[in-house]
Amino acid sequence: MANDALDLAVLNGSGSAGQPTGLLLTSGVQSVDGSSLSLSGLSSMEESCVLADAEDSSLTWFAYPTVRKLLRQREINTGSGSIWPGRDLLGHPVFTSSKMPSTSLILGDFRNVDILLFGNGIEVLVNPFANFKSGQVEFQVSLQMDIAIHYPASFAKATGIS
């Protein structure tokens, strides 16, 4: 639960109602049109990160699982093979997460994101008495945190991928 909240905050946090602003909504993150994303668009994302002095060997992709499925079905050229054939994309590691919007992809040097935990970090509070007669235990998981994105230009995003 707490790890889901952390993923959501870093990748797609709304910046309102106590939630940090995630990478997809941070100003300064570079953007590529995702409506007909191809190898050219993916290469442009990679190039824009590196030209902004992101460390090429540290670039990592995050995508929604459906985006992976779509790009695996998309060929570089007719008959030449998939854009995304394996566990990496353009030689960089890639992770899928349901915390990404369903039509989005992000690439960047995640060493430029700090996760700041306050208080006790992840805190679990247990109330064994609330539903005593039914044999249930009530608990609450709390996470006081913020994120700091030191260099937004070291990230590139594609949204509206179809």
Query: For the segment 121-156, what is each residue's pLDDT rounded down to a tens digit?
Result: 778 889 888 888 888 888 888 777 888 898 999 999
Give the pLDDT score at 2: 59
Q: What CA–CA distance (Å, rounded) separates 47 from 25?
A: 21
Q: Is the pTM of this model over 0.85?
A: no
Structural domains in the chain plus CATH codes: 2-112+150-159 (3.30.2320.10)
Residue 8 contacts residue 23 (beta carbons within 8 Å): no
Which pLDDT tens digit goes with each residue over 18-59?
788 989 999 999 998 888 888 999 999 999 999 999 999 999
Q: What confidence score (pLDDT) does residue 139 get?
A: 85
CA distances to 83, 93, 123, 130 from 86, in Å: 9, 10, 38, 49
% the chain with pLDDT above 90:
44
